[in-house]
Structure 1
Amino acid sequence: MSGRSRTQTPTSAPHAAAPTPRSPGGLLERRRLLTAAGAAGATAGLGVVLGPAGGSATAGPPAAARAVPGPRRMAAAAAAEHPSATGTTLHSVAAPQGGGGYRRLGDGPGWDRVVRAELAAPSAGRADTRTALASFVQFTDLHMVDVQHPLRYEYLRAETASAWRPQEALSVAGVVSLIERVNSLPGGPATGAPLSFVMTTGDNTDNNCTAELEWFLTAMSGGRITPNTGDPRAYEGVQNSGLELYWQPDSALRDGDKQLGFPRLDGFLEAAIREVRSPGLALPWYSTVGNHDLLPGGCYASADPFLTEFAVGGRKLYDLPRAEGAALWKQVRKGRDPKGEQYKELLRTHRAELRAVTPDPGRAPFTPREYLAAHLDPRYTGPGPVGHGYTEANLVEERAYYSFRISDDVVGISLDTTRRGGHYEGRVGPGQLRWLEQGLKRHRDDWVLVFSHHTSDSTPDGGAELTDLLGRNPHVLAWINGHGHRNSVTPHGTFWEVSTASHIDFPQLARTIELTDNGDGTLSLFTTLVESAAPHRTDHTDLSQAGLASLYRELSFNAPGRRTELAGEEGDRNTELVLRKPKKRV
């Protein structure tokens, strides 16, 4: 039955705004103005700064976001409001119906809440004495993707299912439906405390593409998005290429996916590039950067002239001999080509096979500075705070890490774990580690939650040092991240690592996180997974925005080669993570 709790013992712990302008000159001018506009807006609405110049965020969001409840007000609200499982996976989960190849989804039973006791023993009466300290939502790996981008390597699909997914053309509609779900939640599902913000933990975009960044910021802040680049009147990508390697939804061609049961859906591609309207989040939101945000392909060093020219140009590679694809993927997977030299040579070698597409400067890669400036652009402030964690000082110093006040007793710290020189795995350099160590000392009388894109086991350079640093500071309660596209909760002696699945691969979940003081010498972190607002059951004749969001989920479930373990085990999903309450060092 949904919503019930049971204890998992230590021995059973799981594994350690407006559509993009089509005028080339106009869009390029917008890109040139990003930095100036961001810098001009960065100082508006700034409150108390938590850390040294260049590394801190505002604690005072705009008026629409200022009523963030402190812990005492949260406790009062929780006492007045009964927690609700509505809209969460405690209540219901999208589940396959029937048998066969391509399977439809329907309403399945919810997932129980599991009490994790590896770090502290829970007391029987803690529910009667607990006080809510923080309540918020985590988004991660949204991968809002320009599916027509010339630098995409969809032809590696035979090597890895992540190279191309049949649902990708609907990523914008899917993310907007997730935003609608969060806006509808009545409060934290464990405590009833009001949700105070949303944090994205990276890979907000997919191709380090200016158009994708605009789509992401508009979706989060509210506005209209046309998820199309190139020809404003037509789709120009692999899904109308006539190649059997990809699902051809509008065609009678018996492509490989249709042979597995995928439907023919006339009008799919026209609907996929139609305008989408986002209400924007009703909550303040903060941003963390991921490797797909700053690196072309999520793995190649940025600011490469060849890749920049190719991204905005009029040629695209759709197919590749299997052996060459396998060799390229091996180099990517092992991180042996961080500057993309082999990739560039491959594109040069196959120039005769490149197909013509409509050039678009909106596909240009954005620099780290432009990424920060875009967040500071007043058009994307939405419910705040200005910059969504990044300040003018971050822009000047090109630093993508900061700290911010969550509530009276809780501070958040957002890290930058991307490798600017290329590679999909993470890095935390000595300078950022020193900054973090200083920040932890400065906030030793607060509880601290750390956010990053990469996980402890996907950060080979500095990850062990980061884990050790967090463990030496017992007021750090959790390290919250994404990247692996899998739900996972791992104990680290004094803190929990909470890794959440992506919103591009099934089961396409976000997470609410609630922190409580149990009043018995322990603290608890409650994690609850939520799906988008889209109905679990699709109607293949409904190509409206809501219908496409449902189809986004169904296609992701049926994607050939998808990883089936991404939902995680029971103890990685809806949990209560108990910690000992250490004495604060004053």
Structure 2
Amino acid sequence: MSRTRSVATSAASGRGVHRRSVLAAAGAVSLSAGIGYALHPTDSEAATDAQAPAADSRQAIAEPALAPYTKGTTLASVATPRNSSGYQRLGDGPGWQRVVRGELATPKSGRASRRRTLAAFVQFTDLHLQDVQNPLRAEFLRSNGVHAWRPHEALTVQGAVSLVERVNALKGAPVTGAPLGFVMTTGDNTDNNAHSELEWFLQVMSGGRISPNTGDPRHYEGVQNSGLKLYWQPDSTVRDNDKALGLPHLNGFLAAAIREVNSPGLNLPWYSTVGNHDGLALGCFGIHGDPYLAEFAIGGKKLMSLSAAEGKKLQDAIRDNKDPHGVGYRDLLKAHAREMRSVTPDEKRAPYTPADYLKAHLDPAYRGHGPTGHGYSSANLDAGTQYYTFRISADVIGISLDTTDACGMPNGSLGTAQLKWLDKTLTDNKDSYAVVFSHHTSTTMTNTWPDPARPAEKRHTGAEVLSVLSAHANVLAWVNGHVHQNVITPHQVSGGRSFWEISTASHVDFPHLARIIELTDNKDGTVSLFTTLIESAAPHRTDFTDLSQTGLAALYRELAFNTPGASKTLANTAVHRNTELVLKKG
């Protein structure tokens, strides 16, 4: 298949428009708002002039002599426990080797000397930046399951800033040495659909000073200074359940956790994909028509304890996909009003709407290294959509999907209009390779509650999305998150078409990973996708006396490893980590 730099879309008038130019610094340009017409130049860095000269697709991305390298990646070293029992301290451990996977095509000898880079970028996923003092949070579910709350959650901002610092320190793509074009976040950027969290996310990515605190500006108010043994009380001498398992007593921890943090911002352009936690309260409930829950989020009362039986009832409703609007959650809060503790009200904790999300991304204050809107545009705002396509590099387009079911519940789906748009976008751009981004995986798109904004529109599962992707020979990869685990899945279909689904572990649960992805043409009828995992820049070793921004980022990782009930297998096996994924050219 011949691949060219032009990308087809259609203008409002129906005339074809070819996108000819790319961001010189990044090779990544917004193209379309996901509703079938081109953006205006004010919405992106892209030129839309149909008379602009066509770029030469025969020129590959330059590959500096520094490649290959391992420093700063999990090829060189991985955080590893230094002791085998009790609270485990982390240190430098051996790196993970690269594994070649040939399920979709036979790797041919000599390809390393022939290959040319098509694109290189970084994936962040499931940052879950958390306003841990928000009254709407349900930490009390820990009474039914210890994994329902994590001791390290107050440090998500410090951990995310350290991940930005890691990317800024990278020399380029580790296999090819090509410049990294951009960072894509694949959803759950925030944790509880709160304005405070959205502001912190945008500042982490684009740069700025962040105060990861709401309510009383002078001190923390939440479950970690409640005196309840259900939660780790780091500053207190209370013998809580987590200290009994070895978590440390750290004087000054909570004051440090809400202290101002400085983010340098990414030195690359970045794009954003939406996840269920970005649109739903607790990542579960569509509450924007419920004034009680919206008011509760900004109010002055917080429920901190609940019986295990009541917690199980609520968790079962979520697991069984029964309560998308959080009616049971609202009733539970009302029933326990007398047991709530007083906290300082704060309007910054208000839930944000999809329109708020788009406006915040379009705000010039959060532009950073661009592009304006980070993929989204004023056309998205006008149409009420959160999906789009953009130019990744000369021969590759990116497609960002909105897989959140706005009705509620954690798993996802697509509406008919978006599924048709996906099919048309791939058809219109058949001369470009395509990488699809989403939050949900193919196996977690099982939620088909009707969208309240489009109640008559059918919702479609991951199996139906796979069917659409499988019909297009230009699809190379589907990159996603949601499951908080590294999983790489080959998809083989009839006619020789195939692609890889790349799911990456979260940055809120150990091992706190992100992923570099490089696309290369092997010039032998095959394409290789290289995946390389990275950790944050924080040192593996921690110092309990170091409560600086960097010290807290290191502690974030170690506490996550020691979280009671946490899985130790989210990194998965070698075939899902650092890989070369080979497939036939379509």
Deviations 1:528-584 (A, max 9, x none): 0000000000000000000000000000000000012210111000000000012xx
Question: Does the 8 Å contact 2:122/2:182 carry over to 1?
Answer: yes
Where structure 2 has 5 or more consecutive residues not aligned to the other structure, the ranges are 1-27, 47-54, 447-459, 493-497
Question: Does the 8 Å contact 2:484/2:504 carry over to 1?
Answer: yes
Aligned-partner Cα distance in 2 for 1:499–1:374: 27
Q: Structure 1-normalised TM-score?
A: 0.88
Amino acid paired to 1:486: Q
**Corresponding position: 1:363 with 2:353:** no
User: How big is the shift at 1:53?
Assistant: 4.7
**Corresponding position: 1:312 with 2:316:** no
Aligned-partner Cα distance in 2 for 1:536–1:58: 46
SS class of match (1:296):
coil
Task: Tell me what 1:481 maps to.
Answer: 480
**Corresponding position: 1:230 with 2:234:** no
SS class of match (1:489):
strand
Amino acid paired to 1:544: S
Question: Does the 8 Å contact 1:56/1:391 carry over to 2?
Answer: no
Alignment of 1:440-479 (within 5 A): 440-460=426-446, 461-479=460-478
Aligned-partner Cα distance in 2 for 1:514–1:113: 13
User: How big is the shift at 1:72?
Assistant: 6.3
Amino acid paired to 2:544: H
Question: Does the 8 Å contact 1:50/1:405 carry over to 2?
Answer: no
Amino acid paired to 2:444: S
Aligned-partner Cα distance in 2 for 1:398–1:524: 36
Task: Tell me what 2:538 maps to.
Answer: 534
User: How big is the shift at 1:75?
Assistant: 4.0
Question: Does the 8 Å contact 1:54/1:396 carry over to 2?
Answer: no
Aligned-partner Cα distance in 2 for 1:57–1:477: 25
In the superposition, relative to structure 1, how do residues 58 and 73 fare at CA in structure 2: closer, same or farther (>3 Å)? Answer: farther
**Corresponding position: 1:411 with 2:411:** no
**Corresponding position: 1:170 with 2:174:** no
Amino acid paired to 1:409: D
Amino acid paired to 1:176: V
User: How big is the shift at 1:73?
Assistant: 6.2
Alignment of 1:45-84 (within 5 A): 49-50=31-32, 53=35, 75-78=61-64, 80-84=65-69
User: How big is the shift at 1:225?
Assistant: 0.3
**Corresponding position: 1:372 with 2:371:** no
Worse-matched range after superposition: 333-342 or 510-519: 333-342
Match of 1:187 among 154, 161, 172: 172
Match of 1:557 among 551, 557, 561: 561
SS class of match (1:135):
strand
Question: Does the 8 Å contact 1:501/1:508 carry over to 2?
Answer: yes
User: How big is the shift at 1:77?
Assistant: 2.7
**Corresponding position: 1:499 with 2:503:** yes
User: How big is the shift at 1:190?
Assistant: 1.1
Task: Tell me what 2:570 maps to.
Answer: 566
Percent identity among equivalent residues?
Answer: 61
SS class of match (1:298):
coil
User: How big is the shift at 1:334?
Assistant: 1.3
Aligned-partner Cα distance in 1 for 2:297–2:227: 23
Aligned-partner Cα distance in 2 for 1:289–1:524: 27
Deviations 1:364-391 (A, max 9, x none): 0000010011000000000000000001
Task: Tell me what 2:10 maps to.
Answer: none
Question: Does the 8 Å contact 2:520/2:527 carry over to 1?
Answer: yes
User: How big is the shift at 1:416?
Assistant: 0.1
Aligned-partner Cα distance in 1 for 2:418–2:256: 44
Question: Does the 8 Å contact 1:134/1:410 carry over to 2?
Answer: yes
In the superposition, relative to structure 1, how do residues 53 and 454 fare at CA in structure 2: closer, same or farther (>3 Å)? Answer: closer
SS class of match (2:312):
helix
Amino acid paired to 1:114: V
Aligned-partner Cα distance in 2 for 1:280–1:478: 27
In the superposition, relative to structure 1, how do residues 258 and 56 fare at CA in structure 2: closer, same or farther (>3 Å)? Answer: farther
Alignment of 1:16-31 (within 5 A): none
Amino acid paired to 1:476: V
Where structure 1 has 5 or more consecutive residues not aligned to the other structure, the ranges are 1-45, 64-68
SS class of match (2:314):
helix
Alignment of 1:192-271 (within 5 A): 192-271=177-256
User: How big is the shift at 1:412?
Assistant: 0.1
User: How big is the shift at 1:76?
Assistant: 2.8
In the superposition, relative to structure 1, how do residues 136 and 360 fare at CA in structure 2: closer, same or farther (>3 Å)? Answer: same
Question: Does the 8 Å contact 2:67/2:175 carry over to 1?
Answer: no
Amino acid paired to 1:111: W
Question: Does the 8 Å contact 2:29/2:45 carry over to 1?
Answer: no
Task: Tell me what 1:516 maps to.
Answer: 520
Aligned-partner Cα distance in 1 for 2:57–2:255: 48
In the superposition, relative to structure 1, how do residues 482 and 250 fare at CA in structure 2: closer, same or farther (>3 Å)? Answer: same
Q: Structure 2-normalised TM-score?
A: 0.88
Question: Does the 8 Å contact 1:57/1:389 carry over to 2?
Answer: no
SS class of match (2:84):
coil
User: How big is the shift at 1:83?
Assistant: 2.1
Match of 2:135 among 150, 159, 168: 150
Deviations 1:155-184 (A, max 9, x none): 112434553110110000000000000000
In the superposition, relative to structure 1, how do residues 449 and 581 fare at CA in structure 2: closer, same or farther (>3 Å)? Answer: same
In the superposition, relative to structure 1, how do residues 463 and 309 fare at CA in structure 2: closer, same or farther (>3 Å)? Answer: same
Task: Tell me what 1:286 maps to.
Answer: 271
Task: Tell me what 1:38 maps to.
Answer: none
Structure having the higher helix fraction is 1
In the superposition, relative to structure 1, how do residues 124 and 498 fare at CA in structure 2: closer, same or farther (>3 Å)? Answer: same
User: How big is the shift at 1:135?
Assistant: 0.3
Aligned-partner Cα distance in 1 for 2:59–2:66: 12
User: How big is the shift at 1:58?
Assistant: 8.1
Aligned-partner Cα distance in 1 for 2:39–2:272: 11
Aligned-partner Cα distance in 1 for 2:38–2:405: 21
Task: Tell me what 2:9 maps to.
Answer: none
What is the CA RMSD across the aligned residues, in angstroms? 1.8
**Corresponding position: 1:115 with 2:119:** no
In the superposition, relative to structure 1, how do residues 52 and 348 fare at CA in structure 2: closer, same or farther (>3 Å)? Answer: closer
Task: Tell me what 1:43 maps to.
Answer: none
Alignment of 1:385-404 (within 5 A): 385-404=371-390
Question: Does the 8 Å contact 1:70/1:133 carry over to 2?
Answer: no
Match of 2:80 among 95, 111, 131: 95
Question: Does the 8 Å contact 1:288/1:414 carry over to 2?
Answer: yes
Aligned-partner Cα distance in 2 for 1:455–1:520: 31
Question: Does the 8 Å contact 1:302/1:367 carry over to 2?
Answer: no
Aligned-partner Cα distance in 1 for 2:372–2:295: 33
